[in-house]
Structure 1
Amino acid sequence: MSAAGAVWAPAATTVDLVLVPAGADTFSPADEHLPLVPDADRPGWWVPSAPVPGGWADRRYGFSVDGGPPRPDPRSPRQPAGVHGPSQAVDTSAFAWTDQAWPGRLVEGAVLYELHVGTFTPGGTLDSAIERLGHLRDLGVDMVELMPVAAFDGEHGWGYDGVHLYAVHEPYGGPAALARFVDAAHAAGIAVALDVVYNHLGPSGAYVGVFGPYFTDRHHTPWGQGINVDGPGSTEVRRWVIDNALRWLRDFHIDALRLDAVHQIADDSPVHLLAELSSAVAELSSTIGRPLALIAESDANDPATVTPVAEGGLGMTAQWADDVHHAIHALLTGERQGYYADFGEVDVLARALTGAFVHDGGWSTFRGRPWGHPVPEHIDGHRFVVFSCDHDQVGNRALGDRPGSAAHEAGGRDLDLAAAAAALVLTSAFTPMLFMGEEWGASTPWLFFADFPDPDLARAVTHGRRAEFAAHGWATADVPDPQDPLTFERSRLDWSEPDDPRHAQLLSWHRRLVELRRTVPALSSGDRGTVRVHAGPGEGLLIVERGPVTVAVNLAPSAQRTPLPAGGDILASWGESTVADAVLTVPGRGVAVVG
Structure 2
Amino acid sequence: MDEQRSKPEDERPVDPEYRVFPKSWGAEYIAAGEVRFRLWASGIETLNLRLSDEEVPMTAMGDGWWDLLATNVAPGTPYAFVLPDGRHVPDPAGRALESDVHGPSLVVDPTAYRWKNRGWTGRPWSEAVVYEIHVGTFTDEGTFAAAAARLPALADIGVTVVQLMPVAAFGGKRGWGYDGVLLYTPHPSYGSPDDMKAFIDAAHGLGLMVMLDVVYNHLGLDGNHLQVYAPDLFMTEGTPWGPRPDVSRKPMRDLIAENALYWLEEFALDGLRFDAVDRIEDADSDEHFVEELALLIRKTLPGRHIHLVVEDSRNITALHERSEDNAVRLYDAVWNDGYHHLIHAWATAEHVGHFKVFADNFWPRIAKTLASGFAIQGERIEGKGDALVGEPSGHLPPVTFINFLQNHDQIGNRGRGDRLWSLIDPDLAERLMAILLLAPQIPMLFMGDEFRSRGRFFFFSDYPLDLDQNSLEDRLQQARSFGTEDLELQEIRNPNDLDTFLASKLDWQEAETERGMVLRTIFRDLIEKRKRHLMPLLEDVGGGVGHVLLAEEGRLAIDWQLGEHRWQLRANFSDEIATLPPVHGAAIHVMPPEAQSDMRDLSRFPAASLIVTCG
* Cα distance in structure 2, aligned partners of 1:342 and 1:433: 23
Match of 2:44 in 1: 12
Structure 2 spans left out of the alignment, 5+ residues: 1-22, 29-35
* Cα distance in structure 1, aligned partners of 2:292 and 2:127: 25
- 1:111 aligned onto 2:129: yes
Match of 2:497 in 1: 484
Match of 2:515 in 1: 502
Alpha carbons 2:570, 2:580 under 8 Å: kept: no
Alpha carbons 1:18, 1:32 under 8 Å: kept: yes
Quickly say closer, same or farther: Cα 1:368–1:523, change in 2 above 3 A. Answer: farther
Match of 1:279 in 2: 295
Quickly say closer, same or farther: Cα 1:368–1:420, change in 2 above 3 A. Answer: farther
Match of 1:252 in 2: 267
Match of 2:141 in 1: 123
- The amino acid that maps onto 1:423 is A
Alpha carbons 1:404, 1:414 under 8 Å: kept: yes
Structure 2 residue matching 1:195: 3-state secondary structure: strand
Alpha carbons 2:363, 2:554 under 8 Å: kept: no
Alpha carbons 1:148, 1:160 under 8 Å: kept: yes
- The amino acid that maps onto 1:47 is D
Cα displacement (A) at 1:379: 2.0
* Cα distance in structure 1, aligned partners of 2:124 and 2:389: 27
Match of 1:33 in 2: 55
Alpha carbons 1:319, 1:383 under 8 Å: kept: yes
Match of 1:583 in 2: 602
* Cα distance in structure 2, aligned partners of 1:440 and 1:249: 31
Cα displacement (A) at 1:507: 2.3
Q: TM-score, normalised by structure 1?
A: 0.88
CA deviation digits over 1:65-120, x for unaligned, max 9?
A: 23431111111211130110101111111112111111212334511111111111
Give runs of aligned pairs for residues 311-460 of structure 1, distance below 5 A: 315-343=330-358, 344=360, 345-365=362-382, 367-368=384-385, 370-405=387-422, 413-452=424-463, 454-457=464-467, 460=470
Structure 1 residue matching 2:466: 3-state secondary structure: helix
* Cα distance in structure 2, aligned partners of 1:292 and 1:569: 34
CA deviation digits over 1:192-233, x for unaligned, max 9?
A: 100011011111001011332464344443434321112xxx
Alpha carbons 1:140, 1:514 under 8 Å: kept: yes
* Cα distance in structure 2, aligned partners of 1:214 and 1:275: 23
Match of 2:198 in 1: 180
- The amino acid that maps onto 1:271 is E
CA deviation digits over 1:405-424, x for unaligned, max 9?
A: 35xxxxxx533232222222
Match of 1:51 in 2: 70
Alpha carbons 2:309, 2:332 under 8 Å: kept: yes
* Cα distance in structure 2, aligned partners of 1:517 and 1:422: 12
Cα displacement (A) at 1:584: 5.7
Cα displacement (A) at 1:589: 4.0
* Cα distance in structure 2, aligned partners of 1:528 and 1:428: 15
Alpha carbons 2:415, 2:475 under 8 Å: kept: no
- The amino acid that maps onto 2:522 is W
* Cα distance in structure 1, aligned partners of 2:580 and 2:339: 27
- The amino acid that maps onto 1:209 is Q
Alpha carbons 1:331, 1:346 under 8 Å: kept: no
Match of 1:26 in 2: none
Give runs of aligned pairs for residues 556-567 of structure 1, distance below 5 A: 556=574, 560-562=577-579, 565-567=582-584
Alpha carbons 2:371, 2:558 under 8 Å: kept: no
Give runs of aligned pairs for residues 45-84 of structure 1, distance below 5 A: 45-48=65-68, 50-52=69-71, 54-84=72-102
Quickly say closer, same or farther: Cα 1:583–1:505, change in 2 above 3 A. Answer: farther
With 567-576 and 72-81 compared, the bigger mean Cα shift is at 567-576
Quickly say closer, same or farther: Cα 1:131–1:369, change in 2 above 3 A. Answer: farther
Quickly say closer, same or farther: Cα 1:580–1:292, change in 2 above 3 A. Answer: closer
Structure 1 residue matching 2:184: 3-state secondary structure: strand
Name the Cα RMSD after superposition: 2.7
* Cα distance in structure 2, aligned partners of 1:84 and 1:37: 24
For 2:474, which of 464, 477, 486 is the aligned residue?
464
With 574-583 and 95-104 compared, the bigger mean Cα shift is at 574-583
Give runs of aligned pairs for residues 140-159 of structure 1, distance below 5 A: 140-159=158-177
* Cα distance in structure 1, aligned partners of 2:273 and 2:466: 31
- 1:210 aligned onto 2:194: no
- The amino acid that maps onto 2:201 is D
- The amino acid that maps onto 2:300 is L
Match of 2:5 in 1: none
Give runs of aligned pairs for residues 219-230 of structure 1, distance below 5 A: 219-230=237-248
- 1:306 aligned onto 2:320: yes
- 1:263 aligned onto 2:263: no
Alpha carbons 1:118, 1:172 under 8 Å: kept: yes
Cα displacement (A) at 1:253: 0.4
Q: TM-score, normalised by structure 2?
A: 0.85
Cα displacement (A) at 1:577: 3.9
Structure 1 spans left out of the alignment, 5+ residues: 21-30, 407-412
Alpha carbons 1:350, 1:534 under 8 Å: kept: no
- The amino acid that maps onto 1:257 is L
Quickly say closer, same or farther: Cα 1:309–1:8, change in 2 above 3 A. Answer: farther
Match of 1:27 in 2: none
* Cα distance in structure 1, aligned partners of 2:569 and 2:55: 68
Cα displacement (A) at 1:241: 0.2
Q: How many residues align?
A: 566
Cα displacement (A) at 1:37: 0.8
Report the identity percentage.
35
With 302-311 and 319-328 compared, the bigger mean Cα shift is at 302-311
* Cα distance in structure 2, aligned partners of 1:214 and 1:576: 64
Cα displacement (A) at 1:137: 0.7
CA deviation digits over 1:396-446, x for unaligned, max 9?
A: 21211112235xxxxxx5332322222222222222211111121100011
CA deviation digits over 1:506-533, x for unaligned, max 9?
A: 3223222222222224884355544344
Structure 2 residue matching 1:456: 3-state secondary structure: coil
* Cα distance in structure 2, aligned partners of 1:293 and 1:549: 25
Give runs of aligned pairs for residues 535-574 of structure 1, distance below 5 A: 540-547=554-561, 548-556=566-574, 560-562=577-579, 565-568=582-585, 570-574=587-591
Alpha carbons 1:384, 1:431 under 8 Å: kept: yes
Alpha carbons 2:219, 2:244 under 8 Å: kept: no
Cα displacement (A) at 1:18: 0.9
Quickly say closer, same or farther: Cα 1:566–1:354, change in 2 above 3 A. Answer: closer
Structure 1 residue matching 2:96: 3-state secondary structure: coil
Match of 2:307 in 1: 293
CA deviation digits over 1:323-363, x for unaligned, max 9?
A: 11112222322322122223251001122112221222211
- The amino acid that maps onto 1:372 is V
Quickly say closer, same or farther: Cα 1:393–1:527, change in 2 above 3 A. Answer: farther
Alpha carbons 2:41, 2:64 under 8 Å: kept: yes
Alpha carbons 2:549, 2:581 under 8 Å: kept: no
* Cα distance in structure 1, aligned partners of 2:150 and 2:588: 28
- The amino acid that maps onto 2:63 is P
Alpha carbons 1:305, 1:315 under 8 Å: kept: yes
CA deviation digits over 1:471-528, x for unaligned, max 9?
A: 6733222222212222211211111222333333332232222222222248843555
- The amino acid that maps onto 2:143 is T
Alpha carbons 2:233, 2:251 under 8 Å: kept: no
